[in-house]
Structure 1
Amino acid sequence: MRNKKTLILGASAKVERASCKAINDLVAKGHSVLAIGQNAGEVAGVKIQTKAIPLKNIDTISLYLNPARQRDYYNYIVEASPKRVIFNPGTENPEFYQLLELNNIKSEVACTLTLLATNKY
């Protein structure tokens, strides 16, 4: 399995949050992980940044932000030019799917945790 450099957008250090579980699972499976969230913290050795950080060679961006909060990141995500953006449950956003498609970025409505657990990540 190749390392898929992943950005978790909407990351949380709260253990009950899916984004926290996703960071743990990604790290456990050997992927490089970057994280941006509202609050600074650390999960599995990954520092959660509170501001946009420069992105290079990102394979996947996994969203844990509701559609209204995603708007602030549209340009940031398009400019990062990831291979795909995963819309986790509760983040579905048809407006954003269209923008990504126009920029040749694949959008996937899925659960990062399920993809990892079933080796389909």
Structure 2
Amino acid sequence: MKKTLVIGASLKPTRYSNIAINRLTLNKHPVVALGLRKGEVAGIPIETEKIPFKGIDTVTLYLNPQRQAEYYDYIISLNPKRVIFNPGTENPEFYSLLSSHHIESEVACTLVLLGTNQYQSK
């Protein structure tokens, strides 16, 4: 299984990022998480610093477009295969930037992809 970085991770159980971490873990996907507050979800520590994680295949975003700009360089530096833009995170400016670095953008819902067995990147 390929490693996923959840950006915008929340400790609140009702947040989609929290549910995604739980479902990814349940489906045996390796997960790392980045959020505003340190804590733990499904045994996964939420980091608050932009750690240079190794082996990231997928970044799944739970940040609105205005908050994404500060993560552009960080995400590109991780060289993921794809970035999933969950509902509410759509950002054409970032799609173009990712494309110029040969990183795939996918406008989708991580939870739906998991629920329909379409999550694995190609």
Scaled by the length of structure 1, the TM-score of the pair is 0.97
Q: Determine the C-alpha separation between the residues in 1 that align with 2:55 and 2:42.
A: 21
Which sections of structure 2, spanning at least 5 residues, go unmatched? none
Q: Note if 1:96 corresponds to 2:107.
A: no
Q: Determine the C-alpha separation between the residues in 2 that align with 1:35 and 1:19.
A: 9
RMSD of Structure 2 on Structure 1 (CA): 0.5
Q: CA deviation at 1:54?
A: 1.4
**Counterpart for residue 112 of structure 1:** 110
Q: CA deviation at 1:55?
A: 1.6
Q: Determine the C-alpha separation between the residues in 1 that align with 2:98 and 2:114.
A: 23
**Counterpart for residue 38 of structure 1:** 36
Q: CA deviation at 1:59?
A: 0.5
Equivalences, count: 119
- Among all aligned residue pairs of Structure 1 and Structure 2, give the percentage whose two residues are the same amino acid: 61
**Counterpart for residue 79 of structure 1:** 77
Q: CA deviation at 1:61?
A: 0.1
Q: Determine the C-alpha separation between the residues in 1 that align with 2:17 and 2:93.
A: 23
What SS does structure 2 have at the residue aligned with 1:77?
helix
Q: CA deviation at 1:76?
A: 0.5
- Bigger fraction of residues in strand: 2
Which sections of structure 1, spanning at least 5 residues, go unmatched? none
Code of the residue aligned with 2:16 in structure 1: it is A
